[in-house]
Amino acid sequence: MELNKIIETSNNNITITDEKGIILRSNREHWAIYDMQPDTYIGTSVYQLEKEGLLSPSINAIVLKEKKFTRIMQHTRTGRVVMSTGYPLFNKEGHLVRVISYSQDQTEIWKLQEQYEELQRKVKGYQTEVEDLREKELGHHSFIARSNQTQQILKTIQNVAKTDATILFLGPSGVGKSTFARALHNQSNRIKEPFIEVNCSTIPESLFESEIFGYEPGSFTGGNKQGRQGLIEQADSGTLFLDEIGELPLALQAKLLKVLQEKKIKRIGGKKERLINFRLIAATNQDLEKMVNEGKFRLDLYYRLNVIPIQIPSLLERKEDIPILIQHYLQKTNDKYQTLKKLHPSTYEVLTHYEWPGNIRELENLIERLILTIDEPAIYPKHLPLAITGAVEQNEDSSSFSIEQELNGKQDLKKTLEKIEIQLIAKAYKQCKTTYEMADYLGISQPSVIYKLKKYKEHL
């Protein structure tokens, strides 16, 4: 009587079978999940129910076979997921006489679990995407620093990053001033705070104040009705990076100097002054000292910015970085467009000897353009813009002068040609992986390559 009540009122489906698998007791309502009418199960064999496909499999049948505690997950005909646990009961002689099983509908938990796992997968995907974007934006993984000069700059950045000193990056266009500025912010204590980049050359003079200082509602014709936070305010607690500072008109230089000194801003149309805490980094490709002498740049602003100047050399001054930058951008662009383009060794040779007046930006853009516009799998010198091949040829022409010098002024054609040949063979030998590649590079047959390698072996 009590046992019946316990079984009837249990939240779990309790089923007791005898040693033959005949259901002796069970609670009624739970059978609905198996798509079975109440009252039809008592006295029925679990083997029969299995045969009819109503239980697949039956936990009691498994325990009868295994004779030990067992737990399984069942998928019912009604699409439910049920966790069933079965226990064997033995008599004094050790014979299995009963099986008690508990079944619990886990469909909702199962669904939640699946949703949770799906969400976890999505979050992981988004995380990777965000990390990728962040890395790209911060230039982390793509930071090439092979030459001593770049290594030295990185060291200096490391030394000054944790201070609040103002840094002025100097150097020609496209050398990586903005990239270094970000790297510096990333190594500073402000890394979690905003890095606000202001390109002083692109903000129109008429909008400069509203962009920099922000404005209160209604104070500015054509402005946002709610007013707007200025760039300096956005940099609060973080880093304010003033790029192309040399482009700032004199009138605005005075206004900027005031805010840099006081670190206070008042929005246009506002009454309240706000204290802003930011670290200042500036960059320019202009000669600020010369501009000061010419009266184009304020001396006081120059002093304010020129606390720790860091000069970034052009690629021409750090040639060691060129080959690795070429390889890096080739790989990066191939990954970006899912291509497998290669540079023929002779193209690589031309590119490593080019002076790159537009520096890393020019190199990056050229490689992207080549990968996108050349249909062939390998990029040859004939695919390069004339400006590049022409410039490199001219350089090489001037270097041939040294051969003449080496020959002490004697015009010995045979020796001169031999010297040039040795130089070319040595170059090809260094750059090519096989004699076939060398033959292609030099425009001669492969047996000729073998012959010449033998002939000049002591020069290689």
Residues at the interface with ligand ATP (CB under 6 A) = 139, 142-145, 173-179, 243, 283, 285, 360-361, 364
Q: Which is nearer to ligand ATP, 30 or 185 (CB)?
A: 185
Examine residue 357 and say whether the peptide bond preceding it is cis (omega within 30 degrees of 0): no
User: What is the C-alpha separation between 210 and 58, in angstroms, rounded?
Assistant: 75
Residue nearest to ligand ATP (CB): 176
Contact 208, 252 (CB under 8 A): yes
User: What is the C-alpha separation between 175 and 1, in angstroms, rounded?
Assistant: 89
User: DSSP string of 116-180?
Assistant: HHHHHHHHHHHHHHHHHHHHHHHT-TT----SHHHHHHHHHHHHHHTS---EEEE-STTSSHHHH
Q: Could you tell me the smallest distance in angstroms from the CB atom of residue 348 to ligand ATP?
A: 18
Q: Could you tell me the smallest distance in angstroms from the CB atom of residue 136 to ligand ATP?
A: 8
Q: Which is nearer to ligand ATP, 133 or 460 (CB)?
A: 133
Q: Could you tell me the smallest distance in angstroms from the CB atom of residue 372 to ligand ATP?
A: 16
Q: Which is nearer to ligand ATP, 48 or 156 (CB)?
A: 156
Q: Could you tell me the smallest distance in angstroms from the CB atom of residue 198 to ligand ATP?
A: 12
Q: Which is nearer to ligand ATP, 12 or 179 (CB)?
A: 179
Q: CA dist 262 to 163, 215, 254, 269, Å? A: 19, 19, 12, 19
User: What is the C-alpha separation between 380 and 402, in angstroms, rounded?
Assistant: 27
Q: Could you tell me the smallest distance in angstroms from the CB atom of residue 188 to ligand ATP?
A: 17
User: What is the C-alpha separation between 275 and 237, in angstroms, rounded?
Assistant: 11
Q: Could you tell me the smallest distance in angstroms from the CB atom of residue 75 to ligand ATP?
A: 53
Residues 6 or more apart in contact with residue 340 via CB below 8 angstroms: 334, 377
Q: Which is nearer to ligand ATP, 177 or 185 (CB)?
A: 177
- Which residue type sits at 38? P
Q: Could you tell me the smallest distance in angstroms from the CB atom of residue 323 to ligand ATP?
A: 13
Residues 6 or more apart in contact with residue 382 via CB below 8 angstroms: none
Q: Which is nearer to ligand ATP, 42 or 316 (CB)?
A: 316
Residues 6 or more apart in contact with residue 423 via CB below 8 angstroms: 403
Q: Which is nearer to ligand ATP, 70 or 147 (CB)?
A: 147
User: What is the C-alpha separation between 266 and 262, in angstroms, rounded?
Assistant: 11
Q: Could you tell me the smallest distance in angstroms from the CB atom of residue 178 to ligand ATP?
A: 3
Q: Which is nearer to ligand ATP, 142 or 186 (CB)?
A: 142
User: DSSP string of 243-306?
Assistant: ETGGGS-HHHHHHHHHHHHH-EEE-BT---EEE---EEEEEESS-HHHHHHTTSS-HHHHHHH-
DSSP code for 344:
-
Q: Could you tell me the smallest distance in angstroms from the CB atom of residue 246 to ligand ATP?
A: 10
Q: Could you tell me the smallest distance in angstroms from the CB atom of residue 364 to ligand ATP?
A: 5
Q: Which is nearer to ligand ATP, 62 or 240 (CB)?
A: 240
CA atoms within 13 A on the CB side of 154: 10
Q: Which is nearer to ligand ATP, 239 or 285 (CB)?
A: 285
Token readout for 2 is: 């009590």
